[in-house]
A and B are shown apart, each in its own frame.
Chain A
Amino acid sequence: MSRLVFLYDLDSTITKQELLPTVAKELGIYDKMVELTEKTMKGTIPFKESFLQRVEMLKAVPVSQVREIMGNISLNEKLVEFIGKNKDRSYIITGNLDVWIEDLLKRIGMERNVFCSKAFVENDMLEDVISVVDKNAVISQMVLPFVAVGDGNNDAEMIEAAEVGIGYGGVREVAPSVHTCATHVVYDEDTLVNFLKKLA
Chain B
Amino acid sequence: MSFSRTIIISCAGMGNRLGLGTTKALISIEGKPLIISHLEMLKEEKDIRVVVGYQADKVIEVVRKFRDDVLFVYNHRYRETGTGASLALASKYANEYILSLDGDLLVHPDDMKKILQCDYEFVGGNDVESEDPWMMQTYKDGDGIEKVSAFSKCLGNYEWNGITQMRSSKMLNGFGHVFQLIEPYLPISFMKIRTCEIDTIGDYEKAVQWVRNNFGGME
Q: Which residues of A contact B193 (CB under 8 A)?
A: none
- Total A-B Cβ pairs within 8 A: 37
Could you say which of A164, A182, A185 has the most chain B C-beta atoms within 10 Å of its C-beta?
A185
Task: State which of B57, B64, B93, B94 has its C-beta within 8 Å of the C-beta of A164.
Answer: B93
With A191-B70, A194-B47, A195-B71 already in contact, the answer to whether A185 and B60 are too (CB < 8 A) is yes
Size range of the chain A interface in the assembly = 10 to 19
Size range of the chain B interface in the assembly = 10 to 19
**Residues 163 to 197 of chain A near chain B (Cβ within 8 Å):** 164, 179-188, 190-191, 194-195
Residue B80 at the chain A interface, CB threshold 8 Å: no
B71 touches A190 (CB 8 A): no
A179 touches B93 (CB 8 A): no
A198 touches B64 (CB 8 A): no
Residues of B within 8 A of A (CB): 47, 56-57, 60, 64, 68-74, 76, 89, 93-94
Closest residue to B47 on the A side, CB-wise?
A194
Would you call the interface of chain B mostly helix, strand, loop, or mixed? mixed
Residue A108 at the chain B interface, CB threshold 8 Å: no
B93 touches A185 (CB 8 A): no
How far, in angstroms, from A138 to B71 measured CA to CA in the complex?
27
B57 touches A191 (CB 8 A): no
Would you call the interface of chain A mostly helix, strand, loop, or mixed? mixed
B89 touches A179 (CB 8 A): no
Residue A199 at the chain B interface, CB threshold 8 Å: yes
How far, in angstroms, from A191 to B73 measured CA to CA in the complex?
13
Q: Which residues of B contact A184 (CB under 8 A)?
A: 71-74
Q: Which residues of A contact B73 (CB under 8 A)?
A: 183-184
B93 touches A199 (CB 8 A): yes
How far, in angstroms, from A170 to B68 measured CA to CA in the complex?
9
The 5 A-B pairs with the shortest beta carbon distances in the complex, nearest first, are A188-B69, A198-B93, A185-B72, A191-B69, A188-B68
Closest residue to B72 on the A side, CB-wise?
A185
A182 touches B74 (CB 8 A): yes
A179 touches B47 (CB 8 A): no
How far, in angstroms, from A198 to B57 measured CA to CA in the complex?
26
B74 touches A185 (CB 8 A): yes
